[in-house]
Amino acid sequence: MSELSKPKEDLQDPVEAQGPMEAQLLEAEEDEATSHLASYLPASSSAPLETLPQEILNEMMANLMKFLLLSYRAKELTSQAEMLKKVLRDNQEHFPVVFRQASHCLELVCGVEVKEVDPREHIYIMVPNLGLTCDVMLSSGQSMPKAGLLVLILSLIMQNGDRAPEEKVWGALSRLGVCVGSVHCVFGEPRTLLTHVWVQEGYLEYRQVPYSYPARYEFLWGPRAYAETSKREVMAFLLRIKERASRAFPPLSAEAAREEDEAA
């Protein structure tokens, strides 16, 4: 029987698979991380959110993302009916908004895409975005998926002529609250992740700029990144994210844009 078709009772919760202390630590990590992830996407301008406090929306999104990540780790299908029953319960009328925002946040931050495989029954599967397999080893449930951050780094490298100075990379990450020397609740310590983990896995190259003194360093795509995705796919992903953002935040009027420029 395929892993994806296994009944839920045959699949062990990754949290339950750990010892008591490890399970508590992992649940605490997931609660903090998914709550943090929920804040990455602001409320959309759709009508249902006008009557839904942002704090409640974020809590609902965090709970749904935690549920979807659990299904992702277990390589398990899920359905709209299951999400309504197990997560939203008394807030089912808000499902379209919460599901859309949670799906977008998972794709942007974690690199996990939620795909509908049965439109009639509304069955969904979670898959790695852009074919990147850097989260395959997470099936033990030990940490949050990080492919979304990898896509961001790969795009930064593209935008800087296929070689991004490390100071630009650290600067971009710091604006997202991911700072060198600090342990982020989702991504861990970024220097270790980028210069050791992803270099060893072949996703990135981290090398000294030739003839630089004092020494300066830069990031390039690694051979595994070229093997698993392409610049065209990364660009298409970025355009898709930008399009979603433009729909959520309509362009400023000429007067509002002028006022914003003057304020800056």
Q: What is the pLDDT of residue 1?
A: 44
Residue 139 has pLDDT above 50, yes or no: no
Question: What are the distances in angstroms from CA 39 to CA 32, 42, 57, 88, 101?
Answer: 11, 7, 10, 18, 10
d(CA 202, CA 204): 6
What contacts 125, CB < 8 A, 6 or more positions away? 4, 77, 78, 114, 115, 117
pLDDT digits (tens, 9 = 90+) for 68-119: 888 888 888 999 999 999 888 877 888 888 898 888 888 877 778 899 999 9
Quickly list H helices, 39-184. Answer: 54-73, 80-83, 95-105, 147-159, 166-174
Count H helices and E strands in the chain, helices first: 11, 6
Predicted confidence at residue 145, as pLDDT, reads 74
User: Per the structure block, which two tokens stand in for 54?
Assistant: 């942002």
Say whether pTM exceeds 0.75: no
8-60 confidence digits (pLDDT tens): 443 334 333 333 433 333 344 444 444 445 444 444 444 444 466 778 888 88
User: Among the listed ranges 10-14, 122-126, 153-157, which one has the minimum average pLDDT value?
Assistant: 10-14
